[in-house]
Structure 1
């Protein structure tokens, strides 16, 4: 794709920038020399791009206001730059356009070219058209032309569905490319869409981000980039002034930094590669693979039926030649149209051949792929409405088979609206609003002495890269803070603000040492920052309370502000408070620091946070979402086991887990270190009853997922951090967080929870199960028609010597079966009781016994009705036609019209009954809620009226009287009570079988108990050498392991 760009009004052209930041020469030291010598480094590039490496591109507006965005109303600084449109025209936009979609006509043509059966059918139609015109010039052309038109209508409807699906999928796939990015514009840091990144922007990169464009390193702290998405090389690259080039699509593995954007969109390295890979590829899901085999089997049966039908018709054709019987062709409707000439005979055998090919077309269930695609695509869009963005097509169907969910706590089960409610400094505890304490007081600038406030301010504000997006609006009533960064750090910043500290002022005052940030990691559960302090250095550390406490050898006295060795009593008091607060469901953190004389480097020195001075213990409250207990109960009712996997303290985790009934019954809870210390046998014994894993590392989560899968579970797991990516990949379904999740976690996941809410997973389960339900509905609807159409066409041809259904009629039936049936059934909402049953197992057959009974019933009922009309229609049903040509022959054209009309109308009742796959007696539940279903029924009726009453010549039929229409509707209506009676009978039979099975199980249980009693008696008599069936691992011993919680109350 070539894109024209406007002549540059900047000092650098897009081609020059591409030569400076060149992916193919990324390791060439000469490029760095060119950057430094020719362009004066990154500062010189920024100046030439009318930008600044500290303040970024100048802003057009300096005030703050509400801005409409793709996510709704945003609150904060308007980040529009002064020359935004010029930059887009000169350097392009940061969007990679999707590949061109095929037009409907192109899809139709491709279908014809790729499908040999359709090509044969069209060629046959042309021959019928030619011979029909030769044998009967007045009307002979109608049959052939009608076949051609019918084929193209069927193709156009299918192509229209494919075209619409393709457009919607590309829209969804385009949304995947939109990511959140931090930029500095006009000296203001804010978060914008990656689509809005411009050349000249200063972009901040942190762990978990995906590099949004090509650029040059400005500054950073141990910025490690994973370039494997572009290079395939697994060795991460450290970025510095010596290795300054960054490329779009790469991922930040460690550290943080600033970059100057030099290329966006299709001009970036990742964009160029994506364009090459952007060819449209159809993704076949496991369900489609499974149904492909079913379709092939049915297709083979259809081909056999078509061949047998043609042989039968050919034999009859030969007998007619031998007996000199005149040909009665559907090409002419007049009584005198029969003939014995060569053209007449040739036209007859060609018509028979076309009918045989049409039988194959009807028998081959090409509607199955459409039904699967529609079900998956509709579920994707419905799940999007329910805050689940599906990244991989097969995730929808896999979610329907999930048996266990390993979920995070923070933000997923809780609101992620954190607030500091208690703080312990020295030996004094300060209780804030929301703590639930009677003597609680709102935190204010007067809460702490100035010296304590200063130490708290530095410990909180320096050791964080979070910022408050709408800080200037927080004084207004009802306004909640919007954080860019960790919600935990955001809560600490709000606390600092309450006690009169401006975090921006604190950060401007201090100077962080280069490479002086040790980022938070799930393994260490702490982070540190080294700053210049009084001609020396000070290290600030914060993290999990018990871990920070274990690293402290001294403590700060809140009264005298003196530092003294921490005593055993002080450690005991702090530890008790950690446990007490955690048991209330509060998250606890600790602040500490130490003064050092060495300028440590985070890229070299790893373990420097020892011998710390304890500052404070902080308790943060993050309330449980009110909808979570109900959502957990729904999952458990649906047969899923919910497990909490969190990095929090075990007391905090079990408290929240009990509140939402995740931790209950005989479940166990344990900490990550205990889990890691277990043997493989102990883990396998504990995992089935494991309900809470606290202080869990990403490696623990990955191992847990692997163990569950080895036990036959279909595992869904949630994750938000970069280190969660292995577990998200390993799980059958990975859920990442759309709000708090990193881009790396999102890229590793199958579904993104746009609201970070566990309740949205319940919706994903509903729609996942609905995919399978939809396919089963469609299968039982279509297979009954398939079998009935093939049997009736074959037997009718053998009995009467001609097909009771013409080619055009069969193609209309095929359209109802495939496209209309798929749309009608796929558009149904999930059944109300869809979560009342156990998950579908992978090995379960596609066709249940109830479905087989329904398919058999429809085949038998429809075949009997149609054969009755073919054989006795003219003699039993009163005739109201005065035209003798319409009632002569066996069967007459009137009878064939009755057969055609009845067959079509019976599919209406078939559609209604096929909506239920579990033998429900009320087949009209939710009938009027699905507008698409009602619309399809209406279209079928209207087209049928048009076919029989107006365009009857095209459909090889005649107009019917009201009485004859009434007879057709009666046969349609009888279908519903027939199904009702069959389902009652089936329920009675199943109830009897179930009762007999229960009796048999009870007898076997009684016999087993008697046998066990005998064995125990023999064992006791014989002594311990005959002990049998002892487990390999004793679970009570595992429960007694240190740091493992007892069984849930």
Structure 2
């Protein structure tokens, strides 16, 4: 190993090492110090003595090299240089070849982990297997996957619920008291009643905890998916794009503006690397990284420059990974809708507590009166005789009444409401993945249902982002291209374009670019890693017979000689070394911007000549003509210089020489016009915000139906308006072209201040403020930067506008889901997404109705008959139907076909609409009336058999009556569940009913379990067998719920129609009278002012006209 050296090492850079697919070749640092060169030589000798599966550094030593806590300490840099030989010494110790990176040699197929019973924290994603080296590094130093927090078992969740819920504690204590008293009375069977209560409680807790466990498992998978990012690495001498999960210690990772650093590492080589370390330090100023400050940490973001980073820590060992582990342990915050529903649950719970207390006191008073008058108790489990004088039996009855009161509270508290949202959101995110939307923030899927305005990009979102160069204007001629897409047809052959122009054009396209190409084995088409526009220029070079790799290998980029493209500059430049004293600057970018910097042009003989006014006009007209055809236009230019410019130099891109104008076609996505029309029918306003020329943008906007009769203007013009003018323009604005990120931010802020719920798309680093400002931010998964993705709420994985529309569709529908039941029916892998708003309202409509009916029935029944018509076990079964099975059944409804033909939900709209209140009132009236009639009068028109009768003082309730009440109640909830699928008073209750297999399954489960409860579980559920007449009565009353609800709704609709017609008639008469009165007044005013307007009035009128004329174009 190396002895410690005290001398500080100084690093500079070698000339670039040619790489087959290098964009701008980074290279190893070299050391101008003979002593240090000797150290590196000794290091190599020492590594040669080790076996091939050994490394010169341990995990502890790597932690010492790149310590985040001591990042600003000069001693850390000195320690790196003297003890470890600097970045190059670390690379040697990690067996990383500075020229070609790791030697992995990918196996040409993907391998998944073998299936088996593994816990969520043991699950790993699909990874690309590589030969020994990378696998060995993962085993020794760990993988770049942050392990999720350990999972709780279902048993521990059950214990946790009991600890957190005081009502459950009281219920369990009450059940234990009933068991104790019953056992004291009759040891053989007195414990049965209390034990059945305990079993029912455990069943409910098991289902709820299993649901939580399943939800947590899904969230862990989502966290794992969210951590996967595409990164660029140097391996085997070529640049490649791989999953961040596959990064290992020793990898050379390429970073560029907008990237998030995926690992801890050392600056190895690069130009002007500026890092935003605020995610870790909170310091807002970017930090420059170079040989003097080489430490780079995961989770930070690249603001400027590009570099190769030598990986020294991955996964949980990295700085960002350690913080993520802490975040995983933190509890997630509730969404807005969850908070609202929590408030609703508390309010309803208060009503339930009051009902439970009143019921208990009512029963207790009856109990005391009965004891005082020696009214006989019901037969005990020990004998058929009454035990009126037995104190323990009396106390057991009181304890049973207490348990019934507590159970009413359990049923009344709708704890399933907030939980329903959480389940829905978790499960919905997986469905959205199928629709190419990755939800990063839970609130986003709630908000999308309320969106009123969408500010969308053009390129890649509305268009295919499959750009093809189809026209060239160079010299004095226009060259048309045949062929499209990435076909290698000779659209432009070397013979059709002058050689001198072809050389300049292809060198600018290949050298002034950060794009590279990779191929899939199953497709002959290239995949461009980087800008699609640069990819189109690379394809153009290939069609002209030029290989971009060969061009890059034979040219050298000047150190610090790259000016990156951004949305403010709208151009990119690269300085190429022609010789030691001469350089050539290549520039490309937005046509009108780059062309304005040109003072000369290349003629067909390859000679630069001054651009005349006529020639400038000709090119400018050509730009407008091509833009009006929907083409994106770019100008390629250059200049020769003896100055070695750097990124710090001023006035670099001046006095350029025009090479060519290139027209690039980006076809409109075929499905976009239909999606735009859907949005417009749904009441959404679509605005295109793009950096393209206004003519190109307007052409595309008309093709997809965005630009109709609204305003199209450019960003600088919009920026120049006053605040009041902007507000006047904003609502009618349909296309904002040549816009900057600040224009997008201003527009989003303005629309929000005007009450709009705004969704916005963005892909660049500078789009982050607008994405954050919007109510819902959509970033691009293909062409978007990591910073944009981090700022967004939803990532469009295919960059497609249609996916955005799908998110609105699901956002309006909303569903709740119980993933435990999905496990039971083997549907968990179906990953059906359900969004939030409508489904929660369906669930709310169903549960509140059942709650109120159960409370009213139990309270009135207990007071009138002396016993609760529904006992504790039956009430817990009702609770299970409401909070679990009901939520699951309503969760399986997909959005209605016409959901995008209605306006968006207002943000301040109440959760419970007037229609929902009307529906719940109908259910309460019908069910409470029917159930009370059965409870009080069944024995009068269906005489009970003697064995059914249970004596209870001066009144009695038969087991048959309680069983019929129980069955009618449950089956009425089945019909209620079916009708709760409709929220707006629709009469077609069964619309789309049969296509929903899951709903049918859940309904079948409820009916089957209820039948089994009556037939096979009579002791457990306290029921008795029913004859066919009684079953017929149950069925008729359940179906009668449909009939009653239907006719009440028909009557209500007709009554509302007549009321509105009469009201409109009265208003029409009133308006006619008012119009006639105003008309007479106007005639008097005109007569009075006729010919009497003063010169002052005329001047004032002209002034007003002048003030408003500047806005006439926006009207």
Which bin holds the TM-score, normalised by the shorter protein?
A: over 0.9
Which of 1022, 1026, 1044 is residue 956 of structure 1 equivalent to?
1022
The answer (yes or no) to whether the contact 2:501–2:659 under 8 Å persists in 1 is: no
Matched, 1:25 2:74: no
Aligned-pair distance for 1:1017? 5.3
Judged with a 3 Å threshold, the aligned counterparts in structure 2 of structure 1 residues 934 and 573 are, in CA distance, closer, same or farther, namely same
1:85 has 2:139 as partner: no
Give SS of 1:764's match. helix
* Counterpart for residue 697 of structure 2: 653
Equivalence map 1:228-247=2 (5 Å):
228-247=278-297
Using the TM superposition, give the Cα deviation of residue 869 of structure 1 relative to its aligned residue in structure 2, in angstroms. Answer: 1.0
Which of 978, 981, 989 is matched with 2:1044 structurally?
A: 978
Moved more, 445-454 or 567-576: 445-454
- Provide the rounded CA distance (Å) in 1 between the counterparts of 2:838 and 2:780: 28
Counterpart of 2:685 (choices 617, 629, 641) is 641
Aligned to 1:74: none
Q: Which residue of 2 aligns with 1:413?
A: 462
Alignment of 1:400 onto 2:443: no
**Could you say which residue in structure 2 is the equivalent of 1:507?**
552
Matched, 1:548 2:594: yes
Do the aligned partners of residues 607 and 131 (structure 1) sit closer, same or farther apart at CA in structure 2, a change above 3 Å counting?
farther
Q: 1:1037 corresponds to which residue? A: 1110
The alpha carbon displacement at 1:54 in A equals: 2.5
Identify the match of residue 901 of structure 2 among 836, 850, 863.
836
Asked if 1 retains the 8 angstrom alpha-carbon contact of 2:175 and 2:194, the reply is yes
Aligned partners of 1:111 and 1:840: how far apart in 2?
Answer: 35
After TM superposition, give the deviation of residue 13 of structure 1 in Å.
1.1
Counterparts of 1:1036 and 1:662 in 2: how far apart (Å)?
26
The question of whether the paired residues in 2 share the 8 Å contact of 1:905 and 1:972 is answered with yes
- For 2:482, the equivalent position in structure 1 comes to 433
Taking the aligned partners of 1:538 and 1:516, their CA distance within structure 2 comes to: 10
Distance across 1 between alignment mates of 2:761 and 2:841: 29
Deviation of the 1:370 alpha carbon: 2.5
Tell me, yes or no, if the aligned pair for 1:374 and 1:822 is still in contact at 8 Å: no
Alignment of 1:557-706 (within 5 A): 557=603, 559-602=604-647, 604-665=648-709, 667-706=710-749
Displacement of 1:39: 2.8
Question: Could you tell me how far apart the structure 2 residues matched to 1:797 and 1:78 are?
Answer: 67
Match of 1:759 among 799, 802, 814: 802
Supply the distance in 2 between the matched residues of 1:920 and 1:965 (Cα, whole angstroms). Answer: 30
Shift of 1:311: 1.3
The answer on whether the counterparts of 1:60 and 1:82 sit within 8 Å (CA) in structure 2 is no
1:296 is paired with a residue whose SS is helix
Structure 1 match to 2:775: 732
Q: Pairwise CA RMSD of aligned residues?
A: 2.4
SS at match of 1:890: strand
Q: C-alpha deviations, 1:696-718, integer Å up to 9, x for none?
A: 10000000000000000000000
In structure 2, the CA distance between the partners of 1:680 and 1:958, relative to structure 1 (3 Å rule), is same
In structure 2, what is the equivalent of residue 73 of structure 1? none
Quote the offset at 1:902 in angstroms: 1.2
CA contact (8 A) 1:788 1:863 kept: yes
| Whole-angstrom CA distance in 2 between matches of 1:851 and 1:31 | 67
Aligned-partner Cα distance in 2 for 1:572–1:263: 57
TM-score, normalization by structure 2: 0.88
Residues of 1 paired with 2:1047 and 2:158: CA distance? 43
- The answer as to whether partners of 1:58 and 1:186 remain within 8 angstroms in 2 is yes
1:606 shift after superposition:
4.5
SS of aligned partner of 1:984: helix
Aligned CA distance change for structure 1 residues 35 and 1015 (closer, same or farther; 3 Å): farther
Question: 1:1011 and 1:291 mapped to 2: Cα distance?
Answer: 51
2:360 maps to which of 307, 310, 315:
310
1:441–1:100 CA distance, 2 compared to 1 (3 A): closer
Counterpart pick for 1:846 among 911, 914, 921: 911
In structure 1, the partner of 2:40 is none
2:47 — aligned with what?
none
Query: Residues of 1 paired with 2:548 and 2:989: CA distance?
Result: 63
- CA distance in 1 between counterparts of 2:1007 and 2:103 reads 64
Judged with a 3 Å threshold, the aligned counterparts in structure 2 of structure 1 residues 690 and 93 are, in CA distance, closer, same or farther, namely same
Count of aligned residue pairs for this structure pair: 1016
Structure 1 residues 657 and 66, CA gap change in structure 2 (3 angstroms) = farther
- In structure 2, relative to structure 1, the CA distance for the partners of 1:468 and 1:369 (3 Å cut) is same
Aligned to 1:468: 517
Residue 636 of structure 1: SS of its match in structure 2?
helix
Q: Following the alignment from structure 2 to structure 1, what is the Cα–Cα distance between the partners of residues 1112 and 766?
A: 28
Compared with structure 1, are the counterparts of its residues 1013 and 26 closer, same or farther at alpha carbon in structure 2 (3 Å cutoff)?
farther
Partner of 2:17: none
1:108 corresponding residue in structure 2: 158
2:932 paired residue among 838, 845, 867: 867
Equivalents in 1 of 2:1040, 2:483: separation in Å? 66
Which segment drifts farther, 567-576 or 271-280? 271-280
Name 2:959's counterpart in structure 1. Answer: 893
In structure 1, the gaps of 5 or more residues are: 1-5, 71-76, 1041-1045
8 Å contact from structure 1 (residues 43, 52) kept in 2: no
Aligned to 2:823: none
Between the aligned partners of 1:763 and 1:625, the Cα distance in structure 2 is: 15
Q: Structure 1 residues 137, 957: closer, same or farther in 2, change over 3 A?
A: farther
Mark the runs of 5 or more structure 2 residues left unpaired by the alignment.
Answer: 1-50, 114-126, 814-835
Aligned to 1:491: 536
Contact residue 685 and residue 1035 of structure 1 kept, 8 A: no
User: Would you say the 8 A contact 2:865–2:957 is kept in 1?
Assistant: yes
Q: Matched residue of 1:222: which SS?
A: strand
SS at match of 1:954: helix
Secondary structure at the counterpart of residue 100 of structure 1: coil
- Give CA-to-partner distance per residue, 1:639-693, whole Å, 9 cap, x none: 100000000000000000000110002x001100001111101101100100000
